[in-house]
Chain A
Amino acid sequence: MTDTTLQYAAHGHGDPHHLRGLQDSSLGHEGPAPKRIVTAYGFWIFLLSDIVMFSCFFAAYGVLLRQTAGGPSGSELFDLKSVAAETAFLLISSFTCGLASIAADVRSARWYQVAMAVTGVLGLCFLALEAREFADLVSRGAGPTRSAFLSAFFTLVGCHGLHVSAGILWLLTMMAQVAAKGFREDVCRRLLCFALFWHALDIIWVGIFSMVYLLGSAV
């Protein structure tokens, strides 16, 4: 250390840029946030990044909407009744997921497992309908390799379906965790993250059935 540090001992007054007004010194800052808040915050940020990724697929769908390469377009392909059923399954599963969160809050393992099981079943019903739709399209020669429009459709809807599948894997894992460890603090943090994930998938589905199925049927 140099000895010049001694000469200006009087100068350190902590506000060289005259920021007194802006520094919230009255509010202060209490220190690092507790773990539950930090975990939820980080997971929200992950969800935002996932939404950015989905928005790329939405953008690609929008750009390639009319690129049917002489093949079928949305209005010829989409079965809106099936879409309505899928939407119902997913929305109700969000509700039952909410019930599971409440059960976890009151520490009722039984109701938690029931609600999660129902959520999982509803999710599987959604996936089954979606798989049937995809298989049907492929058998009619309207698979993802037929045109750019269909590539974009299958990718966007399929990416959502993959997320739901991963969500069901996670759901099963959380059911096992609660069964094995009870409502320990770290398990509860993960339940919070799972619930956020499941609800976010619902929101994305709302985007999909609006933009892909409803708008796509009009082309």
Chain B
Amino acid sequence: MNLLDPQGPVAAADKTILIDSVAIMLAIVVPTIIAILAFAYWFRQSNPRAQYRPDFAYSGRLEMVVWAIPTLTIILLGGVAWIGSHQLDPAAQVPGTGSPVRIQAVSMDWKWLFIYPDQRIATVNSLTVPVGAPLQIELTSASVWNVFFVPQLGSMIYTMNGMVTHLNLRADNEGTIQGLSAHFSGDGFPDMMFDVHVVSPLEFPNWVANTAKSSQVLNADSIKKLMQQNIEPGKPTFRLEDPRLFEDIVSQRIAPQAGPKLTTNAAQSYLGAQDAR
């Protein structure tokens, strides 16, 4: 999950900005730290060679330099921020080869549901995508806030009930990488890790076809079982019967997921003994 090992263009661009910004700032910070330690050491009381200048409390020229250094640095970084924010806006389309894959991600307590509306399938805690294709992800939440984050593919984005956020990514290398939720959402939050399988453009339709043969069907009724507060140990797959499922969650026609039932002891876990792995 190394940020410094990007597997897609968005992550690569994010990483470039990260490293460049650090380098620009280190150019100022390192000499400053050296100066702090050097002045503190040289002007120590026990050093007879240091010149004592008790009147040196103001210098116009020094003031100009002292204000200019951070200002110039910030102007440079501000430019990076402006350009980078626009080029790497999560809602901006990412070019790629092959037709775009639309994914509708729903964060639940405590699992990820990924709906492929065009392929009429859905998966839980596992994402399979073709390499090089643009991934157009729409996101929402069935309950509380979460954040969809695949570190090696790039930018993260919030998921919120009743609202849709947009994220565009692309995976450039085949293999399996990890994703997680990056916003605390309750007791089962650490278990919201998911796999991202990046497969070849030939392998992808095979996977879709196999998944569509799943015995489990996802519709407004069966989704209620997923929308209970628990951790999903397996990675079930579904045939998608209702292509409007995502819109129904967003519009709250499917009501937001319920929270825990309170037991008599206000601090007792409603997960029961679910904390062993």
Contacts and interface: CB of A to CB of B under 8 A. Distances in A.
Interface of A: 4, 8, 11, 16-18
Contact of A17 (B52, B54, B57): B57
B13 to A, nearest CB: 34
Contacts of A17: 57-58
A16 B54 CA distance: 9
B271 to A, nearest CB: 30
A11 B54 contact: yes
A18 B63 CA distance: 14
B55 interface: yes
Interface string B52-64: 1011011000000
Interface of B: 52, 54-55, 57-58
**A-B pairs, 4 with minimum CB distance:** A16-B57, A17-B58, A8-B54, A11-B54
A8 B54 CA distance: 8
Nearest to B252: A69
Specify the main secondary structure of chain A where it touches its partner.
Answer: loop
B47 to A, nearest CB: 13
B45 to A, nearest CB: 8
A16 B52 CA distance: 15
B50 to A, nearest CB: 13
Contacts of B52: 4, 8
Given A8-B52, A11-B55, A16-B58, 8 more contacts: A4-B52, A8-B54, A11-B54, A16-B55, A16-B57, A17-B57, A17-B58, A18-B58
B150 to A, nearest CB: 32
A16 B57 CA distance: 6
Contacts of B58: 16-18
Contacts of A11: 54-55
A9 to B, nearest CB: 11
Nearest to A8: B54
Contacts of B55: 11, 16
B58 to A, nearest CB: 5
9 contacts: A4-B52, A8-B52, A11-B54, A11-B55, A16-B55, A16-B57, A17-B57, A17-B58, A18-B58
A11 B55 CA distance: 7
Nearest to A69: B252
B54 to A, nearest CB: 5
A18 B58 CA distance: 8
Nearest to A2: B45
A140 to B, nearest CB: 24
Contacts of A4: 52
Nearest to B60: A18
Contacts of B57: 16-17
Contacts of B54: 8, 11
Contacts of A16: 55, 57-58
A158 B158 CA distance: 34
A25 to B, nearest CB: 17
Nearest to B57: A16
Contacts of A18: 58
Contacts of A8: 52, 54
Nearest to A7: B52
A18 B56 CA distance: 11
A17 B62 CA distance: 13
